[in-house]
A and B are shown apart, each in its own frame.
Chain A
Amino acid sequence: AQSVTQLDSHVSVSEGTPVLLRCNYSSSYSPSLFWYVQHPNKGLQLLLKYTSAATLVKGINGFEAEFKKSETSFHLTKPSAHMSDAAEYFCVVSDRVGTYKYIFGTGTRLKVLA
């Protein structure tokens, strides 16, 4: 069975400092992994996706994530936070066989302090 755990429900960083949002997954098969962002009162926007072509995945707005199979992790990072990064972030796992359903993490709310 698939599952995904976002280890922090809230993260606060100062503007200009690095961002780390942690995600661990469990999957029976080689998974697809995604990070989505949801700004206040908005829908979900795809930040990046893991396709198995490369373990370090670059996304939009300077975000990247590294797939680590041995640690079953897919942590999201950004070198320097911007005020506009304040939002909720969701890690998602999907199997590549069977139903292809998305399993969402419970979300991490990122606060960026001036």
Chain B
Amino acid sequence: DADVTQTPRNRITKTGKRIMLECSQTKGHDRMYWYRQDPGLGLRLIYYSFDVKDINKGEISDGYSVSRQAQAKFSLSLESAIPNQTALYFCATSDVGDLNEQFFGPGTRLTVL
């Protein structure tokens, strides 16, 4: 079984709808991250969480919110989806330590019409 899972894998929605993307991990890591990937831009950090009570904005948090329900679960919400939020979204986890290698989920492809 995969260590980092994301649901759904694909989602098509309409402008104005609320969407939740979920991430679960079995690696036992405290740190979790949400990124979005757009062609030609690489991955950009939306939110990150270093433990259940610690949530921080990344470089592109506007229009998004997150919830860390447990050590293993980190959800990303789009309160009112807009077309320019169409992207590939990745969840990642990492352990405490100075190397901070991150492990990525398979991604969720979101299309907002």
Contact = CB atoms under 8 A, between A and B. Distances in A.
Contacts, number: 53
A100 B99 CA distance: 8
Given A43-B90, A101-B48, A32 B99 contact: yes
A32 B102 contact: no
Interface of A: 9, 32, 34, 36, 42-44, 46, 49, 51, 90, 94, 96-97, 99-102, 104-107
21 contacts: A9-B40, A32-B99, A34-B101, A43-B105, A43-B107, A44-B43, A49-B99, A49-B101, A90-B42, A90-B43, A99-B48, A100-B31, A100-B94, A102-B92, A102-B102, A105-B42, A106-B40, A106-B41, A106-B42, A107-B40, A107-B42
